[in-house]
Structure 1
Amino acid sequence: MFISTKISLAALMLIGGAVETGICQTTATKRDPANPKPLVTDIYTADPSAHVFNGKIYIYPSHDIEANVPQDDEGGHFNMRDYHVFSMDNINGKVTDHGVALDVKDVPWAGRQMWAPDAAYKNGTYYLYFPVKDKEDIFRIGVATSKSPTGPFKAEPAPIPGSYSIDPAVFTDTDGKTYMYFGGIWGGQLQRWHTGKYDKSSNTDLKKDNEPALSAKVVRMSKDMLTFDEPVKDVTIVDKDGKPLLGGDHDRRFFEGAWMHKYKDKYYFSYSTGDTHFLAYATSNSPYGPFTYQGTFMKPVTGWTTHHSIIELNGKWYIFYHDVELTGQTHLRNIKVRELKRKADGSIELITP
């Protein structure tokens, strides 16, 4: 059942101060796997990147707010300004809000719109990767560091050289090498980089339905996790015949929200189809691909956007995602979790949210 934004925001005014300034905990409840409820209800959260660090679940989502910005095709109304980190001891445990981990005002090069982040751990340090528009309104990807998984995080003085677009997803392979997958079209600006340089007027990917679809990007990270260690590469997705998915194939081609996980030596690249609202996946024997399209594994949620992450915990797999149950409004979302099940051949079972 949806509640009005006005009521929801009034509730936030009563409790928001405590959340912003300290740790807030929700009560542990047994969650219905067939009807997951929002993990967080006192602030709006979306795009959850979940990780298991030292046996505990940490969630790095976007923090939706009512910014009173008119809605447009480039997502101007998604005008988020900071990140909170949440933790859970187990999948049914209480959710702890550790307060603001990074604020846009503390990123020297940032302008506006702190969109979907991700996190990683290496070298005794936790890394928070985040897309935000710079002073020229171009999305870049920044990195901030902390000795704690909950922050606070200190941002580097400049964005990662050579970074652009949105939705960084960082994956560390079993050999210790770390890769970043990123990109998103339309408001994510990926289509403006098709020549290798930023072109504000370019909408190339939106007009070439019979050409290979615009690709997500992948790049190996440097040992210090602060820069790229090589040129950025395309993430090519092909059909079962080895032919690249086309731009007009809106039910299957990449749009945004990349995630990588590994299962039995196979690389699973999952993503959102964007304007058709599916979560889909493709597999490969290499973290670089090419990836062979396997199918849809989640039908559309309520709300325009779909963005997820996948983790393994105690032998089971889980998907974290969002919808708009609390408000019914696309820019005021709430994160959820449910079990992700596989068939004997490793394929992912279809979820109907």
Structure 2
Amino acid sequence: MTLPTLAQQTEKKERSGNPIFPGWYADPEGIVFKDKYWVYPTYSAPYEKQVHMDAFSSPDLVTWTKHSNIIDTTSIKWAKRAMWAPAVLEKDGRYFLFFGANDIQNDKEKGGIGVAVADKPEGPFKDHLGKPLIDKFHNGAQPIDQFVFKDKDGQYYMIYGGWRHCNIAKLKPDFTGFIPFDDGTTFREITPESYVEGPFMFMRNGKYYFMWSEGGWTGPNYSVAYAIADSPFGPFKRVGKILQQDPTVATGAGHHSVIQVPGTDRWYIVYHRRPLTETDGNHRETCIDPMYFDEQGMIKPVKITVEGVKAEPIGKAKAR
């Protein structure tokens, strides 16, 4: 066995490596709170064992600290299983975590999308409503895979949906419900071509980038595609895939989020994938790689790597 050289050891410490932390985790939400990067993933296990969530924080995208059990079914009384795909934001000094639970299959089952609140990004999070925020199917969308987008005017929107349908809805300022649109509807469908689940939205140079996952989550062809529009309501015309498997690295690369380094035009995509050695659908790991744009503002296809990314402390990034 050949030991790594000092230079190789130093380089290894300067890069995150993929996965960025050990354990089976999926559907990662990446976000910046103050001077730290945070990742909130799904605990990837059989549905009956998905009764809690962990979070991870880092000052530089390389060194990660685990925050265990930030929320679980003991604090969310109506949630029994399948706690999925957290979406987290800070508002007025409090932290709100939106999640799916119970994997409901129809309007008669109990569950859907909930919201919890905490005083710190690592929790503990407590139920904000005592019931789901969305507990019914609207426009055919299963109430899972929620993402909360803050528009340039300060309005928060929930973008969500499984079963190949995606809705957008206007959240009340206190996140206790929704405000109907001018036409009287509450849930507006914005489903693009080939959409399956896992929506995500961000703004760059005045444009709305809408991203989603395609394919089946247990298969090798799980992937991410995107569209660009002038409004969070679209219309969103599919541009193409930008994240997918590399048979030499990993399969099933999908259900992602995007981090913009504060004060810069540098971007990272956080996603899950399945190691080549694994066949169990739940054996997914969280990874990170750079995401680049071309001169026209199109997203370049992401190269998934084993090395991950170089260290990027937030304070130093702002000063560049």
Q: TM-score normalized by structure 1? A: 0.71
- The structure-2 alpha-carbon separation of the partners of 1:326 and 1:158, relative to structure 1 and needing over 3 Å to count, comes to farther
> For residues 43-83 of structure 1, what are the alpha-carbon distances to aligned partners after superposition, in whole Å with 9 as ceiling and x for unaligned?
32111001111132111100123x4xxxxxxxxx5741111
Distance in structure 2 (CA, Å) of the matches to 1:254 and 1:217? 11
Matching residue of 1:167: 145
Matching residue of 1:225: 175
8 Å CA contact 1:327, 1:333 repeated in 2: no
Farther-moved stretch of structure 1 (225-234 vs 256-265): 225-234
Aligned residue pair count: 269
- The structure-2 alpha-carbon separation of the partners of 1:147 and 1:349, relative to structure 1 and needing over 3 Å to count, comes to same
8 Å CA contact 1:274, 1:305 repeated in 2: no
Are 1:38 and 2:16 an aligned pair?
A: no
How much is the aligned-residue C-alpha RMSD, in angstroms? 2.2
Matching residue of 2:190: 235
- 1:31 is aligned with what amino acid? R
Distance in structure 2 (CA, Å) of the matches to 1:31 and 1:175? 37
> For residues 222-258 of structure 1, what are the alpha-carbon distances to aligned partners after superposition, in whole Å with 9 as ceiling and x for unaligned?
1102322220110143xxxxxxx3xxxxxxx100111
Kindly state the Cα deviation for residue 134 of structure 1 after the two structures are TM-superposed. Answer: 7.5
- 1:157 is aligned with what amino acid? G
Distance in structure 1 (CA, Å) of the matches to 2:165 and 2:48? 23
> For residues 110-151 of structure 1, what are the alpha-carbon distances to aligned partners after superposition, in whole Å with 9 as ceiling and x for unaligned?
121111111111122110000001896555000000011111
Matching residue of 1:274: 215
Kindly state the Cα deviation for residue 161 of structure 1 after the two structures are TM-superposed. Answer: 4.4
Are 1:346 and 2:297 an aligned pair?
A: yes
Runs of 4+ aligned structure 1 residues displaced above 4 Å come to 134-139, 161-164
Kindly state the Cα deviation for residue 304 of structure 1 after the two structures are TM-superposed. Answer: 4.5
Q: TM-score normalized by structure 2? A: 0.78
Are 1:308 and 2:308 an aligned pair?
A: no
Per the alignment, in what secondary structure is the counterpart of residue 74 of structure 2?
Answer: helix
Matching residue of 2:13: 29
Distance in structure 2 (CA, Å) of the matches to 1:48 and 1:325? 16
Picking from 260, 278, 286, the partner of 2:201 is: 260
Distance in structure 2 (CA, Å) of the matches to 1:62 and 1:134? 13
Unaligned stretches of 5+ residues in structure 2: 1-11, 138-142, 181-185, 305-320
- 1:62 is aligned with what amino acid? T
Matching residue of 2:43: 63
Aligned-pair identity (%) = 31
Picking from 182, 194, 211, the partner of 2:160 is: 182
Per the alignment, in what secondary structure is the counterpart of residue 151 of structure 1?
Answer: coil
- 2:21 is aligned with what amino acid? V
